[in-house]
Amino acid sequence: MSVSAAIGGKPVKIDYYSPSMRGRKVYGGLVPYGEIWCPGANWATAVTSAEAGIEIGSMKLAKGSYALWVIPGEKEFELVVNSNAHAFHLDHDSSTDIGRTKMTLKALAEPVESLTFEVRPTTAAKA
């Protein structure tokens, strides 16, 4: 699957595979707390900004493609950005990590069966 949006007039795209819960407990169950996890399946989830650099948290990334990994916690998640956008989803290599940033969590009213990414522009230059 993929999702894209224009941020500052430049396209940003996220490519990912969308696993489903199928009645399983995901965080703290199938996906242990405190361990690196690929939010997706098959291949690592990749964010691409081919025309301009982007910022994710405090990280300033040059134009290009990057893999997104997550370290889930009971109260806080950490996003890990990695330079190998073509990694298999079980093959995280921390030596190619670019950086990490805390994620803001929001409880949903209802569970979402399949992993979904969204890019929502909040201003002309942010999403």
Residue 115 belongs to some domain of the structure? no
Res. 22: pLDDT tops 90 = yes
Residue 123 belongs to some domain of the structure? no
Exposed e or buried b for every residue in 3-22, given b needs 16+ CB within 10 A?
Answer: eeeebeeeebebbbeebeee
- The count of domains in the chain is 1
pLDDT value at residue 65: 98
Residue 11 belongs to some domain of the structure? yes
Tell me the average pLDDT of the chain.
93
pLDDT value at residue 107: 86
Residue 112 belongs to some domain of the structure? no
What does each C-alpha distance from 66 to 20, 23, 74, 83 come to in angstroms? 23, 31, 26, 5
Residue 116 belongs to some domain of the structure? no
| Residue range(s) defining the domain that contains residue 59 | 2-103
82: nearest Cα among 122, 43, 113, 26: 43
pLDDT value at residue 127: 83
The residues near 85 (Cβ < 8 Å, ≥ 6 apart) are 44, 46, 47, 48, 64, 65, 66, 67
In this predicted model, what pLDDT tens digit does every residue of 76-112 receive, in sequence order? 999 999 999 999 999 999 999 999 999 988 888 998 9
